[in-house]
Amino acid sequence: MQLYTIKTGFFKLDGGAMFGVVPKSIWNKLNPADGNNLCTWAMRCLLIEDGGKLILVDNGIGNKQDAKFLGHYHLHGEDTLDSSLARLGFHRDDITDVLLTHLHFDHCGGSIVREGDRLIPAFRNAHYWSHSRHWKWATEPNEREKASFLKENIQPIGESGQLRFVDAAEKAAGAPGTAGAPAMLRDVIMPGLSVRLAEGHTAAMMLPQVEYKGRTLVFIADLLPSAGHFPTPYVMAYDMFPLTSLVEKKAFLEEAAAGNYVLFFEHDPVIECTTPVRTDKGVRPGPGFSLSEL
């Protein structure tokens, strides 16, 4: 197995929304805001190469939205999904599987592209993987979250014939929503690839987990958007069930520190990976490092 970082650029989100009840006087030291209270965040994806599989975990915002929409999020940076793949010698047609942690627009927007008046899959040779409970949640959204679930990102996947569900054969090692660390689905898509199911941010968000170079690596998605979110109360206002997020995060970080896990950040603007360590203030991030340093 070989893992690669795929960079798709940066975007901006409101700092207060990203840190919830934490005062700006504290979070602004972690990720300084601009004059509009917006902080910069990465859209960092993971590519898994194993045998005949080339699995892409998430794919950023994409570029099919209109200028007004994209203007709200201030996309910037030189990296794109295609340029990142090309640097590694790959093309989007080489992707065999797209694993979507969840269907918020900054995680799945690159799944679909415009071709004239049509919206078509960007990865024509790939299966798109979601969780059936999350798919239902996203396609029948609540009023609070529906602005994050864009029909133009989701509906074409459902109509493409390329959609698959990781839970088609039930393999959960725990009931969804129970207290503690996220439950596990083992051997999804291929042997050795598992997903943790987290319920606080949105229903059935999937956190891919693999054994890599003798370490357990977890793509942490929005359970921990950045290294600045390690303290227990630092929970996003975007989370649908913040108290569930708090419990999941605390339990998972204890497990990760005990197991010397590598956590791969999707949104931290600077730090790609870290290993949690126990301190007198609780579990905190260790030194940051790149995936290629493993």
Whether residue 168 has pLDDT greater than 80: no
For 13-34, the DSSP string reads EEHHHHHTTS-HHHHTTTS---
Per-residue pLDDT at 174 exceeds 80? no
Q: Which of 218, 201, 111 is nearest to 162 (CA)?
A: 111
Q: φ and ψ at 217, to 5 degrees? A: -115, 135
pLDDT, residue 170, reads 54
Residue 261 has pLDDT above 60, yes or no: yes
What residues have CB less than 8 Å from 182, skipping those under 6 apart? 196, 197, 198, 199, 207, 223, 248, 252
pLDDT in tens, 123-158: 999 999 999 999 999 999 999 999 999 999 999 999
Mean pLDDT of 165-184: 62
pLDDT digits (tens, 9 = 90+) for 204-239: 999 999 999 999 999 999 999 999 999 999 999 999
Digit-coded pLDDT (tens) for 8-21:
999 999 999 999 99
Nearest residue to 157 (alpha-carbon basis) of 188, 208, 131, 122: 122
The fold for domain 2-293 equals Metallo-beta-lactamase; Chain A (3.60.15)
Does residue 251 sit in helix, strand or coil?
helix
Question: Residue type at 171?
Answer: K
First to last CA, the chain: 13
Q: Write down the pLDDT at residue 169.
A: 60
The mean pLDDT of 171-184, rounded to a whole number, is: 55
pLDDT of residue 175: 40
Q: What is the pLDDT of residue 184?
A: 84
Answer whether residue 94 shows pLDDT above 90.
yes
